[in-house]
Structure 1
């Protein structure tokens, strides 16, 4: 209720700001028109006093030259920015967060809540802990309000997971800690499934390439650097456009390819087994995942 009220107030203020802007432009135009005759007379009077003063003329010329340089530089920069903005718009890029400052973190979380409520979200990540298990994670509250989720995480038992942790080389990032984070993510997804949400989890074995969250028409993207924590990497926001030629379509297609890859097993949240299927959905085999052993490994 409070959110709907705030949305209505925000819309009202935005409409009022637009009307105020037009009133201000009309008023300013009228003031300039009224002041033109007086300004012209004052300029002619001032020019008649300095036209025979060499020092004053040189100073005026230098001032005009500096102003022209500034104006031309501004116009050039504006045209360049418009070109870049058009390219970004064509690619579907709507926002860019170079670093996660506290104010940016709050804005990111709020935007994801708005875009993910009542939708089936799609996620590719590493352990999933910082994304939707941690209470300050970007999707910690979105999962409670979504219809369902398709999630791809790294298999903590794979050799690639060990290589990824070793490459980061940070004392706080250990293989045992990573496995514990995956275990907590699975526990959370089981709880969501028990609540009636359509949650599916798949575990891939290759090194993580991107952290990607698809929320309806918006896609949030970060790159997993070989030896850096994902939290230090910039985040991009892409929006789907009707022409289907933006980067949103590219990455959404990448997600579908990964999701439909028969080499990536589905995790059965009821039996703790990895289920391998054919492209048509037929079951090929099941492998025990040994979730309890992962929990024990994280403790020892």
Structure 2
């Protein structure tokens, strides 16, 4: 598997030369110290061990502990070698446990993203897209600024898949937060579109199964567990094996996105008219429907009018803050407070009879 390596800078060249010099000096020092160490053991230490039984016992225990440690290191090294070979076969280059893993794991991923070449195309299959495009902790958000063509598939908030997804999540995550996150993602995509990017957005209606983000020759994958937020799912990064494309999991997930993208039942979002455009198998337009951000059958929770698309960075930030407040338990409106007072969580009324 070939990994992209950027040209070395002057500082990187100096660091490499310094490390080689230190290793050479260390090897020379060990070579000159070996005769003195052997002389000390043979003519000073070993006679004392022969004359003192306690010292001999301590030496034997110390030698046994060193041998056990070396044996364990060999076993661990062999097991790690097998894991590395399996990771190479799967083309796995990085993995992290949700948003955890500490600052060191995030630093490794930032370094990996900086080393990647600029991607012309970016393909995203996700749920709301908030944690990919809008959230400040998103490590891949900056990569979309350099891409020319961006294809995105989000979960339609008015679909049965969205209802199934929302009802499986914790009670504090309701329809309002879900719709606000989609609204923020659409606003971010509109901003990228106004910046000259070729942005295409489609909506799918099935319950989400995978989150897939393709940037150049790398793909980020997360599994959508029922009952768990996507941001807490383990994230895997697979790279394209240019020598043997049939090996590794980059191609299967890449083809998964392309196959889902080409399915004609997924409508395309028209940024100019705020409508969903349905096409047949030949790509011809069949009909247009207004995009309802909130389900029309939920009068308390929805505004049965097409989404009013925000386009400025300030509006994106406002929508993001509103989604964060809803996730923390605060309702966006008085109707949400009334539902909370009546014992029904905000955005949860539909789980029983949506």
Q: TM-score range by the shorter chain?
A: 0.7 to 0.9
Cα-to-partner distance string for 1:148-183 (whole Å, 9 max, x where unaligned): 200010001002212211111231x11122123223
Shift of 1:214: 0.9
Query: TM-score scaled by structure 1?
Result: 0.86
SS of residue paired to 2:9: helix
In 2, the alpha carbon distance for the partners of 1:100 and 1:272 equals 33
Match in the other structure for 1:21? 19
In 2, the alpha carbon distance for the partners of 1:32 and 1:247 equals 45
Match in the other structure for 2:168? 167
Of 30, 33, 36, the residue aligned with 2:31 is: 33
In 1, the alpha carbon distance for the partners of 2:270 and 2:152 equals 13
Q: Map 1:72-87; keep pairs closer than 5 Å.
A: 72-87=71-86
Contact 2:169 2:228 in 1 (8 A): yes
Distance verdict in 2 for CA 1:202–1:115, change over 3 Å: farther
Write 1 or 2 for the structure with the bigger share of helix.
Answer: 1
In 1, the alpha carbon distance for the partners of 2:249 and 2:270 equals 32
Match in the other structure for 1:250? 252
Q: Which runs of 5+ in 2 are unaligned?
A: 1-5, 294-303, 309-331, 336-354
Contact 1:116 1:146 in 2 (8 A): no
Q: Which runs of 5+ in 1 are unaligned?
A: 1-6
Shift of 1:87: 1.2
Q: Map 1:226-245; keep pairs closer than 5 Å.
A: 226-242=226-242, 243-244=244-245, 245=247
Match in the other structure for 2:120? 119
Contact 2:274 2:306 in 1 (8 A): no
In 1, the alpha carbon distance for the partners of 2:285 and 2:273 equals 15
Distance verdict in 2 for CA 1:116–1:231, change over 3 Å: farther
In 1, the alpha carbon distance for the partners of 2:32 and 2:151 equals 64
Match in the other structure for 1:58? 57
Contact 2:292 2:307 in 1 (8 A): no
Query: TM-score scaled by structure 2?
Result: 0.74
Shift of 1:118: 5.0
Shift of 1:114: 6.1
Match in the other structure for 1:4? none
Greater CA drift, 221-230 or 106-115: 106-115
